[in-house]
Chain A
Amino acid sequence: MTEDKDTRVRPVLRQELLPPHGAGRRHLISIAALEREDVVRLLGLARTFAGTLERDVKKLPTLRGRTVVNAFFESSTRTSSSFELAAKRLSADVMSIKASGSAVDKGESLKDTALTLGAYDPDVIVVRHPQIGAPAFVAAHTGAHVVNAGDGKHQHPTQALLDLYTLEEELGEIEGLHVAIVGDVLHSRVARSNIQALLLMGARVTLVGPPALIPRGIEALGCDISYDIGSIQPADVVYVLRMQRERMLEGANFVPSLREYTARWGVTHARLRAGQKVMHPGPINRGVEIDAAVADAAESLIEQQVRSGLVVRMAVLYDLLTRGPATADIAMLKEVA
């Protein structure tokens, strides 16, 4: 081991390895790292972009010459397509990589995949990965701005931002809204990002579901918990989560059966109050967590959510590439290392 004076560069390197907490806006990895003013700015930007999309020619020259890599190591329709379209609308060059059909199938480690992608010097890498912390890990091994498009059960920050955007568009002020999040909170990165984002913007959040799917200790974030579906009644908005059967360990008995779940916690018109808005991050399991009639009803904001995804992701890409620390700072960090 070395003396104090020889190791003074170490903390710089370690900082670089960690996801950003407050300081710096180089990556969008977790809602926890955002301040209220960041959210306000991003939603404002999204509104501006929504205006531009009403023109005949929808493409903006803003990010011409920039490269955006979409690296999706887990299946996705909405998120990957909206990131791709968002980057194209801003005139960036887009490259999309999926886990199947890539070297990941040959057992390549995330580190080597990250180094390979980084070798093209992309400006932004959008990462979806089944493991928590994968986006921060890619950030540590490349010089790109990294956007988390969903990491395990951890975070899905652009989903939360597009949900906030949808709520603002439909209901105006988020401050003071009461949102009930219903279903499989345990396995849901959408729930985690949304709880933090809604609380950050001054909403009240109640989690509703079976005890096995509401993680112990989650109330420390500042939300309420209820195991009774009746608790959705007073909410302004009912946010329904997908039953993530693919993340449930076999034999872990989180729910005895989908039938039992639906009977107790399925969101149906009978359980909703007139005028309550309903949201769902998709994909929907019709007839499981949400009744088909509810999903298709006028109170459902599900389609608006998908539409919001495009402009919010445009805003995120634009914000990272125009407001983040200059590339010179990154070069300096590498020199220190």
Chain B
Amino acid sequence: MAVATRARTLHWRAGEPVDLVLAGARVVDPVEGIDEALDVTITDGIISAIEPARETRSRLLVAPAFVDPHVHLRTPGGEHAESLASGTRAAAAGGYCAILAMPNTNPVVDTAATLGALVDRARTEAEVPVGFLAAISIGLRGAELTEMVELAESGAAGFTDDGKPVVSAGLMRRALQYAALVGRLLSLHEEEPTLSRGGHMHEGAVSAELGIGGWPSIAESAMVVRDLELARHEQQPVHFMHLSARESVEALRAAQVDGVAATGEVTPHHLCLTDDCVRSLNPNFKMNPPVRAEQDRRALLDGLCDGTIGAIATDHAPHAHHDKDVPFEAAAFGVTGLETAFAALYTRLVLSRELPLETLLERMSAGPARIFGLEVPRVAVGERANLTLVDVEAAWRASESGFESRSANSWLLGERLVSRVLMTIADGCLVHAS
């Protein structure tokens, strides 16, 4: 078995433990099997009592706070788009008690020194607990492995070359072997670059009509299949990031049935959008991987509901205004998501009865926590409070001026959303209240 290192993987500027009572809300915790109106008392950051509600407030929902396994904090090197402080404030505003940050920064998080500096800064600047994934390959170049053992000992929460695929099967195999040694997961961005080359959107009828270069589903699923086979061969777990194609979900499901320890995540935009939105040529509908056809969206939703896909990840990808205020093909890939994830999915999928609320809450919290070996937020006496309080009837509109994030490249700008996070408690401390 793995020689797990004991290094802490979440870091933040811990605040004062909170004392308060969340009274009368509908409390839903899929892990504890709770769904009723309760008064939840928190004393010194610990859940000290859970009692039947004296008075019911039906607009309010209390749930285990969310965990996001895929966030770009753009630090170091891209602080104009996001900083540790702004990105973690955005997470708090979205109801998150823990997030994992990607290493495709400048410099890349590929040495213990870079990672250590980030961990130090997180201890003074991060407003919710943050874990840092380190790179699989030096400089994300896909040629040489990083020093994964030292990185794990220095607090890496996992490994990924996110933004780029690990093209070499040989390197992927070695990475699996070293990840196993340190008990950390490999998070994989799956994209066969010779198939996706020149692509700016899903390859299909819409790209054919618009004349925009296509990024076909097979570019993702071919690599998913390869890495499922490598994971099977090495008998090690792998995690697939931001799945987008029906074929990928089907391959993942079949491998799981066969006993391969593979997991997957999906973003709110892949669950809500299809390539039809690109007709507007709005660069806030440009993401990597791209949103695809309705059959792909349905397959992702089915995979999420049946557990094939265990986590919802925002792939929060902030970009400066000038990197998006350009024609579609010249625009950067990616959209923000931390502050809108729950509201978007609640509005678009829960209210339309495409996705049960319990499933949504599980996949936004316990699901990702389990996959990455983080503590599962629970509504239980004696637990450290990691809770989010939501007004499920609040209606609002996403607008450029309203984000905690430094960037506003949201696919939801101008859209009406129903439900809003009112309060977030992370690690026993009040990190967001509106």
Indicate the member of B206, B209, B399 with the most A CB atoms within 10 Å: B209
Smallest Cβ-Cβ distance to B216: which chain A residue: A216
Smallest Cβ-Cβ distance to A111: which chain B residue: B325
Min distance, Cβ A162 to any Cβ of chain B, angstroms: 19
A55 partner residues in chain B, CB cutoff 8 A: none
Chain A residue total in the interface (Cβ 8 A): 38
Smallest Cβ-Cβ distance to B212: which chain A residue: A132
Stretch at the interface among B34-42, B129-137, B326-334: B326-334
Give CA–CA (A7, B281) in the complex, Å. 23
A14 partner residues in chain B, CB cutoff 8 A: 413-414
Min distance, Cβ B355 to any Cβ of chain A, angstroms: 23
Smallest Cβ-Cβ distance to A112: which chain B residue: B322
16 new A-B contacts at CB < 8 Å, known A10-B413, A110-B326, A249-B197: A1-B403, A2-B397, A3-B397, A4-B397, A7-B399, A14-B413, A17-B282, A18-B282, A131-B330, A132-B212, A133-B328, A153-B211, A215-B207, A216-B203, A216-B214, A217-B204
Known: A132-B327, A134-B327. A220 touches B205 (CB 8 A): yes
Give CA–CA (A3, B416) in the complex, Å. 10
Known: A3-B396, A4-B396, A7-B397. A132 touches B281 (CB 8 A): yes
B208 pairs with A217, CB closer than 8 A: yes
A154 partner residues in chain B, CB cutoff 8 A: 210-212
Give CA–CA (A309, B197) in the complex, Å. 35
Partner of B327, one of A10, A18, A131, A155: A131
Known: A18-B280, A18-B282, A217-B205. A132 touches B329 (CB 8 A): yes
A17 partner residues in chain B, CB cutoff 8 A: 282
Smallest Cβ-Cβ distance to B213: which chain A residue: A153
Partner of A132, one of B197, B208, B211, B396: B211
Contacting B at CB under 8 A, from A186-217, are 188-189, 192, 215-217
B198 in the interface, Cβ–Cβ < 8 Å? yes
A152 pairs with B211, CB closer than 8 A: yes
B401 in the interface, Cβ–Cβ < 8 Å? yes
Smallest Cβ-Cβ distance to A29: which chain B residue: B281
B209 pairs with A10, CB closer than 8 A: no
Indicate the member of A7, A11, A17, A189 with the most B CB atoms within 10 Å: A7
Give CA–CA (A184, B399) in the complex, Å. 42
Min distance, Cβ B277 to any Cβ of chain A, angstroms: 11
A278 in the interface, Cβ–Cβ < 8 Å? no
A252 in the interface, Cβ–Cβ < 8 Å? yes
A63 in the interface, Cβ–Cβ < 8 Å? no
Contacting B at CB under 8 A, from A144-179, are 151-155
B395 in the interface, Cβ–Cβ < 8 Å? yes
Smallest Cβ-Cβ distance to B403: which chain A residue: A1
B281 pairs with A136, CB closer than 8 A: yes
Contacting B at CB under 8 A, from A7-28, are 7, 10-11, 14, 17-19
B398 in the interface, Cβ–Cβ < 8 Å? yes
A216 pairs with B327, CB closer than 8 A: no
A333 in the interface, Cβ–Cβ < 8 Å? no
B33 in the interface, Cβ–Cβ < 8 Å? no
Contact with B along A217-251 (1 / 0, CB 8 A): 11011000000000000000000000000000100
Partner of A220, one of B208, B212, B330: B208
Known: A4-B416, A18-B282, A249-B197. A215 touches B328 (CB 8 A): no
Partner of B396, one of A1, A133, A152, A217: A1
Partner of A19, one of B205, B281, B413: B281
A137 in the interface, Cβ–Cβ < 8 Å? yes
B328 partner residues in chain A, CB cutoff 8 A: 131-133
A322 in the interface, Cβ–Cβ < 8 Å? no
B402 in the interface, Cβ–Cβ < 8 Å? yes
A313 in the interface, Cβ–Cβ < 8 Å? no
A110 partner residues in chain B, CB cutoff 8 A: 326-327, 330
A109 partner residues in chain B, CB cutoff 8 A: 322, 326
Residue pairs across A and B with Cβ atoms less than 8 A apart, 24 shown, are: A1-B401, A2-B402, A3-B397, A4-B395, A7-B399, A10-B413, A10-B414, A17-B282, A109-B322, A110-B330, A111-B322, A131-B327, A131-B330, A132-B211, A133-B281, A133-B328, A151-B327, A189-B211, A192-B211, A216-B208, A216-B216, A217-B205, A220-B208, A252-B198
